Copies of this chain bind each other. A is one copy, B any other.
Amino acid sequence: MLQPTSAPAPTGQLPPGVHRASDYESLARGVIPAPTFEYIAGGSGEGVTLAANRAAFGDLSICPRLLADVTGGSTRLALAGRDRAHPIMLAPVALQALVHPRGELDVARAAAAVDACMVVSTLSSHRLEDVAAATAEEKWFQLYFQPRRDDTLDLARRASDAGYAALVVTVDAAIQASASSALRAGFRMPADCVAINLQGYAARSESRLAQGQSRIFQGMMRSAPTWADLEWLQARAGLPIWIKGVLHGDDARRLRALGVAGLVVSNHGGRSLDHAPASLRMLPVIRDAVGPDCPLMFDGGIRSGADVFKAIALGADAVMIGRLQVYALAVAGALGVAHMLRLLHEELEACMAMAGCASLADIGRRGCVLRSSREPGLC
């Protein structure tokens, strides 16, 4: 059985000193061993994209709107055929046993408690069937293409059988680069942290490369999914397919044309291609590309309800929470995750109320997100 890498917080009581969702980040730093924290918090390469994700939010302001009657307000939305209480979802995060032995099982309980849709990772620490069974609430399954098509399809079918309502296909992670900070801190994945869902599937073969062939192009990229793979999967998956990792308008248009269920604007939390642009910088580009009706989620750097508000103002229908999920799990298990989500939800409501928005749709209509630094009216 998986062992925690540090003593988990006792469940059943909230940690003191948490006033805002982001407080879980600083608390987590005291709970998670430093190399592991670096692994979770870090980005690929020099961490340029990681930092850009956060900085992009700082460039936007939210202009209050006065005297609106928002007593009938709510954060409800219709998305993917369901009415939902709020637009905050749990991003797929691999191997959550790294910070808590119950990992994804606890996250599922937390999600159920606060009506948040959880996206379970292909690389979860617990079997996808067990996570699905943990609660009766809607869950989605994040799917990585496997080296063998049969295995990919098997994963998709297991997800469908276990009751997952949608697939989120991640397509921006063909090449994984470790965070320099984690390498420097000496992080190594514990031996018992394994991708249990993939047991029995073919591993990516160390390709035999001919003279002059590239370890990247003719090696790693051989198992990377292509447009053909996606169309093949679409025809067989039996579940709606969302595509995660979209940053370029041309890709968004082509995916839209294929009829996918929706897109997730994301740069993998700054963990894939370092120097990729901030997710938030590309969000309005993608919204422009796909038009107002395409379901669009946003992922990348959210730490507060104000950040959720800004993402929605720039065109997202909903958002995904990655690192805060792990921090809250590490600090206080299921209770922590549920608490963090409730704080985030209330922070969003407070922003909406102060900006005179009684609904998520109002956010785009009220013209209250603007560049912080643009000074009008002087030469």
Contact = CB atoms under 8 A, between A and B. Distances in A.
Contact of A346 (B216, B246, B354): B216
A65 to B, nearest CB: 6
B277 A370 contact: yes
Q: Name the residue among A214, A224, A355 with the largest chain B CB count within 10 angstroms.
A: A214
A372 B371 CA distance: 15
A353 interface: yes
Interface of A: 19-20, 45-46, 48-49, 52, 56, 58-75, 85, 171-172, 174-175, 177-178, 180, 183, 212, 214-218, 220-222, 224-230, 243, 245-248, 250-251, 255, 267, 272-278, 281-282, 284-285, 288, 304, 306, 310, 314, 346, 349-355, 358, 367-379
28 contacts: A19-B183, A52-B372, A62-B276, A64-B172, A64-B245, A66-B243, A66-B251, A68-B226, A73-B214, A175-B353, A177-B350, A215-B349, A216-B350, A216-B353, A217-B349, A217-B352, A217-B358, A272-B354, A273-B350, A273-B351, A274-B306, A275-B310, A275-B351, A314-B377, A371-B375, A371-B378, A371-B379, A374-B379
A63 B371 contact: no
Contact of A66 (B52, B178, B246): B246
The number of times this chain is found in the oligomer is 4
A372 B277 contact: yes
Contacts of A273: 62, 64, 350-351, 354-355
B71 A222 contact: yes
A65 B248 contact: yes
B250 A172 contact: no
**Most chain B beta-carbon contacts within 10 A, residue among A71, A180, A373:** A71
Contacts of A350: 175, 177, 216, 273
Contacts of A282: 63
Contacts of A69: 226-228
A247 B63 CA distance: 7
